[in-house]
Amino acid sequence: MHKMNISGDNWLLFRAWYEDLTTKVKWEGNYSRGFKEKQGVRQGGVWSPTAYKVFINSLLKIYEENKIGSYIGSIYCGAPTVADDVTLIANDPYELQTMINIQMDHANKFRYSISEQKSCVLKIGDKSEHSWYINDQKLNTPINATHLGIKRDINSKFGVKEVVPDRIQTARKTVYALMGAGLYGLNGINPKVSVHMIKCFVIPRLLYGLDIIRLTKTDIAKLSVYYIQLLKQIQHLPSRTANSAVLVLTGQLPIESEIHKKMLSLFRNIADNHGSVERSIAQRQLALKTRDSESWFIQIIKLTEMYELPSPIEVLDLVPEKHIWKKLVYNAVNDYWKNILILEARTKVSMKMLNVDNFKVGVVHNIWESSGSELLSVKRACVKAKIISGTYTLQADRAKFNGNRTSSLCPLCFKQSEDLMHFLIKCNSLEGVRRKFIMLLRNLLNDKINALLVDDLFNFEDNLLQLIVDCTKFQFLKQLWTTIERLSSSLCFGLHQKRTSLLL
């Protein structure tokens, strides 16, 4: 501890803090008698990892000073260890056994023991038969093992093929646990709230550790599919809904963008950690590796190019302040994906009424923003969400889907093809429901807006349809968006109910 500059009062504090410790076992509400604790660190203490490092460092130093274990170039990285999660890396089976022996000597000297059941050897790219021993017990050689919460396997390209499926499963469990708190289901919670909960509780678990490993295209695809499907679920949208609609309505970007942000922020932290092994490796790999390399640092080069950010070499030379880098990365990544998303949304005919011009990362669309927390108003907004995303099925859609073998004629009035315009504005059979709301809408606008503009909105069918489906297209109505949305979603819901009851 003295070598770590812990002396004087600080040392006394530590001594006092660990003096006369007793432990009791709690079992079914009852406590055992206490017994004295002479070894180990406090469970869950903030200082415990550091205290443990002080203890284990002497062992790690032995490896490094004797140059036993693996190197990347001339940089030693034979024992990447966090607290008690020790990994020993060697390129040679005998060297590994030596490392294990040193570990056992250390254990004997300090009177702790290494469990052969909790230890194993991963043989990566090595077909030879070899066995390793701890306490004369042969170690298992499984096909995968977990270090720092990341499952490494010996067969896949990047050695981490099981991580993403694991994360998705964890995320599923988290969502399931949140359902009690009303994440989704039939309890009609506003998706705005659900998105917030997903951001707080699900995404961190879904993406944990994914910034430090190499992901394949399949991994990314799996994460995207899961994330999009989750966003559909909380908005009660059918699975055929276009991805861009799902994201625009919730103000979210593809999940890949979040991983990239994490990777870029991790890189800055590495660059900032002067004297660390990671920083040395960064310098070496960036200088020596070619573009076709699978190195994580080469991926960082590609990301900085993709987002037009300062190159990794520049960042290493002059490490930007954390908040400055964070802002830079967030803006660049968000803008990049936002543009892609908007372009994609514009090409979809089925969602041409959805206004994407106001898309802001992290801000839900007006239909969710305006619908509040009341059960019925959320239910109304759900019908609207289907209409706006082009997944509300009318007779014209059925006809198109069946190659016109089915008639597109309105099943209520049999006068016209039943498309969105007919359903929302024209169909005579629904006029009774419609008239009341259109009048309310018109009165509302008459009070606040120039009469000529109001005429324009109501006399041209295209304008009226846009006003009802997504009024955010009209910037000059901005202060009325919420009120208009409440009225128009009531209108759509009224029409939907009437239509359904007439078809029964």
Tokens matching residue 366: 């007006």
Contact map string, positions 107 to 136, toward Zn ion, x by CB under 5 A: ------------------------------
Minimum CB separation from Zn ion for residue 413, in Å?
3
Residue (81 or 429) nearer to Zn ion, CB: 429
Contact map string, positions 356 to 395, toward Zn ion, x by CB under 5 A: ----------------------------------------
39-60 in b/e form (b: 16+ CB < 10 A) is eebeeeeeeeeebbebbbeebb
Contact map string, positions 427 to 466, toward Zn ion, x by CB under 5 A: x---------------------------------------
Residue (96 or 420) nearer to Zn ion, CB: 420
Helix residue ranges per DSSP H, 19-115: 48-65, 93-109
Distance CA 227, CA 230 (A): 5
Of the candidates 237, 255, 271, 412, which one interacts with Zn ion according to CB under 5 A?
412
Minimum CB separation from Zn ion for residue 185, in Å?
34
Of the candidates 171, 300, 410, 445, which one interacts with Zn ion according to CB under 5 A?
410
Residue 248 to residues 320, 356, 481, Cα–Cα distance (Å) = 32, 7, 17
Are 380 and 490 within 8 A, CB to CB?
A: yes
Contact stretch for Zn ion (CB under 5 A) within 226-234, 272-280, 284-292, 405-413: 405-413
Which of 256, 260, 247 has its CA nearest to residue 342? 247
Minimum CB separation from Zn ion for residue 418, in Å?
6
Tokens matching residue 454: 């109001």
Residue (231 or 394) nearer to Zn ion, CB: 394
Are 209 and 148 within 8 A, CB to CB?
A: yes
For tokens 């964890």, what's the residue?
A: 170
Query: Phi-psi bin for 145: left (phi > 0), alpha (psi -120 to 50), beta?
Result: beta
Residue 89 as a binder of Zn ion (CB under 5 A): the answer is no
DSSP string of 142-207? -SEEEETTEEEESSSSSS-TTHHHHHHHHHHHHHHHHGGGTSSSTT---HHHHHHHIIIIIHHHHH
Minimum CB separation from Zn ion for residue 410, in Å?
3
Q: Return the SS3 of 308.
A: coil
User: How many residues of this chain interact with Zn ion, rule: CB under 5 A?
Assistant: 4
Of the candidates 86, 107, 340, 413, which one interacts with Zn ion according to CB under 5 A?
413
Contact stretch for Zn ion (CB under 5 A) within 149-157, 186-194, 343-351, 422-430: 422-430
Contact stretch for Zn ion (CB under 5 A) within 12-20, 56-64, 142-150, 411-419: 411-419
Minimum CB separation from Zn ion for residue 499, in Å?
9
Judged by the rule CB under 5 A, the positions of this chain that interact with Zn ion are 410, 412-413, 427
